[in-house]
Structure 1
Amino acid sequence: MSARRLAPVLVLFAACSPPTAGGTDDASSGSEATGTTAPTGTTTTSSGELPDPTTTGTTGDDSTTSTSEPLPEPLAPLEGPVPLTDEVVRVPTHPVDEDKLLDLRLPADVATALAEGYGDVMLAAGEPVLPRTLDDAEPPTPGAAPKLLVRFVHLADTQLADDESPARLASFDEVSGGAFRPQEGHVCRMLNAGVRTINALHVDDPLDFVLLGGDNTDNAQTNELEWFLGILNGAPAVECDSAIDDDPLPGPDNDPKDRFAPVGLDVPWRWVAGNHDVLRQGTFGILDFSEPIGDASVGGTRDYGQPGAPIVKGMVPADPARAFLTEPEQVAWVAGDGDGHGLDAAAVELGRAFYTFDVAGTPLRFFVLNTSSLKGSSQGLIRAVDLEAIIGPTLDQAVADDKWVIVTSHHRSGSLGDGQEFGIGTKYDDALTAVQWQEFLGSYDNVILHLAAHTHRLMVEAMQPAGGHAYWEMVTPSLNDFPSQMRVLEVWDQDNGALTIQARAFDMITDDDPVAEMGRTLAIADFTSGWENDGRGTGPDQRNVALWIAAPE
């Protein structure tokens, strides 16, 4: 969630939301990587246990879903090559309404926006892959035998939301960001469209894996993670609907609250956590507030029992499946699902998503770290205590193992803070600034890239820390917000003493899925109506790029 959008209301909401008894922890207890436990009485399902990972994403209990209906059929695989944005781009045809004449929280204004073409696009010529060097010099000539080391997709900021939860803050959507999105109910289908697209891309040219960018879910809720895992894993059916079994458009599989059969990824995927995965609305520590399983909405949530699913406050239907997940519970659940998605026994013991994995047959090692502050603040947090206990030893080991490192986290360096934002969270005196983090990474000659997300826009920046090693920092946009894109990355050994990191953005393909296409249309309208930033970044050199860097010795 954007801090700018929530800034005017953070203190107000904190004041009107009573904390759970016993729901605070010791602010001076050291590294946030240890010691996180749920308060007494916390539940994660109606039975008090975590859902079984082997049934993740299924349709739920009989109180919310009719299980007598036949299971839906998954959509057929996409045919033909997937066009990347160096071939074709989607351009909104409606100018951005700087005056915000429409408020897309209002169903009538959504209808007006769609009727007036706020969500329309045209296809235009693609943008070339631009070569870039750390010092802006001309790139060297490739050697005789360049070798591809890895090819993967970076899928970031899905923010899959239970948009009917009383823990939402939809009424506070003021300036720019994500307290409310008109497309939020469609994100499950948008994610499934993204998975179909990735699978087709894998057919075009094989992928090694999918790397998440964090903010996979929106509100740290059990049901959100269950839906997310079900979609990526290809569960028999998923229904992104909580409490009452809603059916806005009568009939099966034709609206965002109907159950559907996800296709599931055809390649392995690796977990990365973001602030929305571990914090209430990406900003508030979950131990400081009542759980979202209650029946009172303070900040506004959606009611799909009314036309257009307007925002409502007050009493709403309760659902115990909405219970918050602490990060240790979340890590254990994901680690126990399938191949564990990168999370190993050490991560489970730590209770936080810190781990490494290697690309077989290459010198490449990925280092995944969680930069979220568990006590609050949407900003990233990296503390000196974590450098000493976790991050430094991990990078030292990579040096000893002669590994070239891609560091990946949800937050980029420019999104780091001190643990406190607008009076929310806990301020840490040992929190690293952006410059300190850049200098730390620059002290390791084997770090070639910091890959991040969070800003919901395409970004690439050459990091030139004083007295240190230069490296690249890259950000992938949100699948949720405009332009609803992902990146495919390739690392090449150019056989000339240098590497290239090639990154190209691509759109999800929504063929045969009008629900997913409507979600993308609403995301475009959210942008052109003036309520969302331009996720395409500041120029072509932020989008499709080939980044040169000397191969570590």
Structure 2
Amino acid sequence: MPRLRSVANAANAAAAAARKVDRRTLLAAAGGLSLSAGIGCALGLGGSEAAGATAPAAGSRKAPPPPPAPYTAGTTLDTVAAPTGREGYRRLGRGPAWQRTVRAELAAPHRGRAGRRTALAAFVQLTDLHLADVQHPLRLEYLRRHVTNGWRPHEALTVAGAVSLVERVNALRGAPVTGAPLQFVMTTGDNTDNNARCELDWFLTTMSGGAITPNTGDPHRYEGVQDSGLALYWQPQDAALRDADKQLGFPHLPGFLDAAIRGLRSPGLDLPWYSTVGNHDALAGGCYGGGDSYLAEFAVGDRKLFSLPGAETKAVYNGIHQATDPTGGLLEQVLRGQARHMRTVTPDASRAPFTAAEYVAAHLDPAHRGPGPLGHGYTADNLASGTRYYTFRVSDDVLGISLDTTDPGGAYEGSIGGEQLAWLERTLKANRDTYTLVFSHHTSASMGNLRPDPARPHDTRHGGAELLDLLGRHPRVLAWINGHSHRNEITPHGTFWEVTTASHVDYPQLARVIELVDNRDGTLSLLTTLVESAAPHRTDFADLSAPGLAALYRELAFNAPGGRTDLAGDPGDRNTELVLRA
């Protein structure tokens, strides 16, 4: 009978194997790299992951006594933050729950299945955390002049919000429907916002536990757009300036910026966690490829552009959204031309961009191991081969596959290289009798960027339609789980479901618990349940503690001018039961 396996012994064996890896061997594979901002050098797990081997399953945490199942506490089945006012800046409070919707496009549900079902897997998906160094010189806040949501008033609180999300996951009593122990957490990319080493360090520490100071540059004060005196941006500590956001009701909050860059501590996840790369993790600004030396030097320098004339703002915006400036050549011209209008900031080497190898090496750093596994899916083989895709064993009956859909050639949409696509097909064929869950950052609809990889110019790029076709030829593929769009959306594809989850930077700031069950009647079900962070729904403007900032993070995101109002999706994209043929 299919079953949910406890794999603590496998995790312990992997840890023992990791301790036997020779440090100098791994450093050589990483090119002898070392990183600033505490990222450090790599120690890795041996194996042949890049060639399609499967890593051990993550060990489940020692679960408390099983809760009554199903349960709703701490999920959107109980309550969801909702506005209490009708106009202007709207405060949030406790709102009505979102009910579960049964979707039967791929298979008919049978009566009595809830009493028959067996849990095969239970885990949590986080996506699009966008942990942001809001003082970074390469940030493009001035795009707000052209499009209102080009800058968000709440971005200084991304770390506080992510820590609160970790606290929520740790508080979950198990899978909401079956009560099965949660096995792991998977992040599906855009963990960082601007491909900066400091952001990567903050992300890894948030996930694995430890102290974080979300500040760069001057260690004693904030040096970004929110104390610039420019009415284009919310100036929370300037009572006199009627900036664009205060005119909409945004509050005056003395001490806000000091609190935003103050140190805090993440408890780290109680669960093993895995990582998938997104375009903001791989590219400057999430869109500029090619490793431009000018942009890399500008990132760590002492000059920052706070505003830009309208015509040039539009040109930079179009270069991004029409994908006509994939390597940042136009941006470089604009920055060079605006040198006289820049402001001086404190330089900081921790703002440097990180390479693909450094990204993997940072995950392999034992300082960021947390509950494991070492590397969080990535291994020494990924370092040696220059890849960021891998497989892992979810349970006896379920295989996990993490893909790299970022395009190193630049632009924010994705694709997959021919080498990786061939590896994926080999992996699916080798596991044709095993249920499979596929994870990526990009959605099928956002994989139309076929620019060549500069490091692999002969490796043809492939789009979302080809990936859908491949997955559809393997009936044991049950779901493709992703993010990128910042919107909840669930789409049927013949034999499997595509599950896209909203971000944790734009409202409604959600994560998703996913349970896979065998209904023991010829069908399976994917049960999806959305959760918010642990922050209270109601804010207190006088509370600038870490929980208070996390609550403000949600409320400011709800009120962000120009923000989309459809990101929560429809009821069928939220809390669902997705039925499949077994």
Could you give the per-residue CA deviations for residues 206-243 of structure 1, whole angstroms, max 9, x where no partner exists? 311111010000011111111111111111x2100001
Could you give the per-residue CA deviations for residues 109-162 of structure 1, whole angstroms, max 9, x where no partner exists? xxxxxxx75242243321221111234755565286311111111010000011
Task: State which of 78, 83, 98 in structure 2 corresponds to 1:92.
Answer: 83
Instruction: Quote the residue 2:461 is aligned against.
Output: 431
Measured in 2, the distance between the counterparts of 1:479 and 1:156 equals: 7
Task: State which of 506, 517, 520 in structure 2 corresponds to 1:481.
Answer: 506
Q: Does the CA-based 8 Å contact 2:196-2:352 persist in structure 1?
A: yes
Q: Does the CA-based 8 Å contact 1:503-1:543 persist in structure 2?
A: yes
Task: State which of 409, 418, 426 in structure 2 corresponds to 1:393.
Answer: 426
Give 1:431-510 correspondences, 5 Å limit.
Answer: 431-464=461-494, 470-510=495-535
Instruction: Quote the residue 2:206 is aligned against.
Output: 231
Letter in 1 for 2:563: W
Give 1:151-170 correspondences, 5 Å limit.
Answer: 151-170=122-141
Measured in 1, the distance between the counterparts of 2:34 and 2:378 equals: 23
SS at match of 1:195: helix
Change (3 A) 1:150 1:515: same
Give 1:46-125 correspondences, 5 Å limit.
Answer: 50-51=39-40, 82-93=73-84, 117-125=88-96
Instruction: Quote the residue 2:383 is aligned against.
Output: 348
**Number of aligned residue pairs:** 442
How far did 1:385 drift? 3.9
Task: State which of 208, 218, 221 in structure 1 corresponds to 2:183.
Answer: 208
Measured in 1, the distance between the counterparts of 2:106 and 2:113 equals: 18
Instruction: Quote the residue 1:535 is aligned against.
Output: 567
Instruction: Quote the residue 1:329 is aligned against.
Output: 358
Measured in 2, the distance between the counterparts of 1:213 and 1:174 equals: 31
Measured in 1, the distance between the counterparts of 2:198 and 2:535 equals: 25
Task: State which of 195, 201, 225 in structure 2 corresponds to 1:220.
Answer: 195
Change (3 A) 1:351 1:298: farther
SS at match of 2:291: helix
Are 1:516 and 2:550 counterparts?
Answer: yes
Instruction: Quote the residue 1:11 is aligned against.
Output: none
Normalised TM-score (structure 2): 0.69
Measured in 2, the distance between the counterparts of 1:531 and 1:143 equals: 39
SS at match of 2:119: strand
Letter in 1 for 2:478: I
Measured in 2, the distance between the counterparts of 1:149 and 1:274 equals: 27
Measured in 1, the distance between the counterparts of 2:410 and 2:90 equals: 34
Measured in 2, the distance between the counterparts of 1:446 and 1:136 equals: 14
Are 1:142 and 2:113 counterparts?
Answer: yes
Are 1:276 and 2:280 counterparts?
Answer: yes
Letter in 2 for 1:392: E
Q: Does the CA-based 8 Å contact 2:214-2:260 persist in structure 1?
A: yes
Change (3 A) 1:457 1:223: same
Instruction: Quote the residue 1:192 is aligned against.
Output: 163
Q: Does the CA-based 8 Å contact 1:286-1:324 persist in structure 2?
A: no
Cα root mean square deviation, aligned = 3.3
Q: Does the CA-based 8 Å contact 1:482-1:534 persist in structure 2?
A: no
Q: Does the CA-based 8 Å contact 2:530-2:575 persist in structure 1?
A: yes
Letter in 1 for 2:574: R
Could you give the per-residue CA deviations for residues 76-121 of structure 1, whole angstroms, max 9, x where no partner exists? xxxx9743112222223466xxxxxxxxxxxxxxxxxxxx752422
Q: Does the CA-based 8 Å contact 2:107-2:580 persist in structure 1?
A: no
Are 1:240 and 2:207 counterparts?
Answer: no
Task: State which of 371, 388, 399 in structure 2 corresponds to 1:365.
Answer: 399
Task: State which of 85, 92, 99 in structure 2 corresponds to 1:128.
Answer: 99
How far did 1:50 drift? 5.0
Q: Does the CA-based 8 Å contact 2:106-2:581 persist in structure 1?
A: no
Q: Does the CA-based 8 Å contact 1:93-1:118 persist in structure 2?
A: no
Letter in 2 for 1:445: P
Letter in 1 for 2:386: G
Instruction: Quote the residue 1:16 is aligned against.
Output: none
SS at match of 1:547: strand
Normalised TM-score (structure 1): 0.73
Could you give the per-residue CA deviations for residues 175-215 of structure 1, whole angstroms, max 9, x where no partner exists? 77964221111010000100111110146853111110100
Measured in 1, the distance between the counterparts of 2:99 and 2:455 equals: 43
Instruction: Quote the residue 1:315 is aligned against.
Output: 344
Letter in 1 for 2:483: A
Instruction: Quote the residue 1:113 is aligned against.
Output: none
Letter in 1 for 2:487: R
Letter in 1 for 2:415: L
Instruction: Quote the residue 1:415 is aligned against.
Output: 446
Letter in 1 for 2:479: L
Measured in 2, the distance between the counterparts of 1:251 and 1:226 equals: 25
SS at match of 2:212: coil
Letter in 2 for 1:453: G
Q: Does the CA-based 8 Å contact 2:125-2:186 persist in structure 1?
A: yes
Could you tell me the percent identity over the aligned residues? Answer: 28
Identify the structure with the greater helix proportion.
2
How far did 1:316 drift? 2.2
How far did 1:493 drift? 1.0
Letter in 1 for 2:158: V
How far did 1:37 drift? 10
How far did 1:352 drift? 2.6
Q: Does the CA-based 8 Å contact 1:37-1:326 persist in structure 2?
A: no
Letter in 1 for 2:359: Q
Measured in 2, the distance between the counterparts of 1:343 and 1:364 equals: 19
How far did 1:251 drift? 8.2
Change (3 A) 1:152 1:317: same
Out of 260-269 and 118-127, give the one that drifted further. Answer: 118-127
Instruction: Quote the residue 1:66 is aligned against.
Output: none
Measured in 2, the distance between the counterparts of 1:536 and 1:458 equals: 5
Measured in 2, the distance between the counterparts of 1:259 and 1:183 equals: 17
Measured in 2, the distance between the counterparts of 1:363 and 1:174 equals: 52
Measured in 1, the distance between the counterparts of 2:342 and 2:573 equals: 41
Change (3 A) 1:502 1:176: farther
SS at match of 1:482: coil
Measured in 2, the distance between the counterparts of 1:510 and 1:182 equals: 18
Measured in 2, the distance between the counterparts of 1:417 and 1:516 equals: 35
Measured in 2, the distance between the counterparts of 1:201 and 1:176 equals: 38
Measured in 1, the distance between the counterparts of 2:258 and 2:137 equals: 25
Out of 255-264 and 270-279, give the one that drifted further. Answer: 255-264
How far did 1:418 drift? 2.6
Q: Does the CA-based 8 Å contact 1:375-1:426 persist in structure 2?
A: no
Letter in 2 for 1:397: A
Measured in 2, the distance between the counterparts of 1:443 and 1:185 equals: 44
How far did 1:260 drift? 1.1
Measured in 2, the distance between the counterparts of 1:327 and 1:418 equals: 19
Could you give the per-residue CA deviations for residues 330-377 of structure 1, whole angstroms, max 9, x where no partner exists? 1122023422211123222222321111123x3101100110011201
Measured in 1, the distance between the counterparts of 2:40 and 2:256 equals: 26
Measured in 1, the distance between the counterparts of 2:360 and 2:434 equals: 26
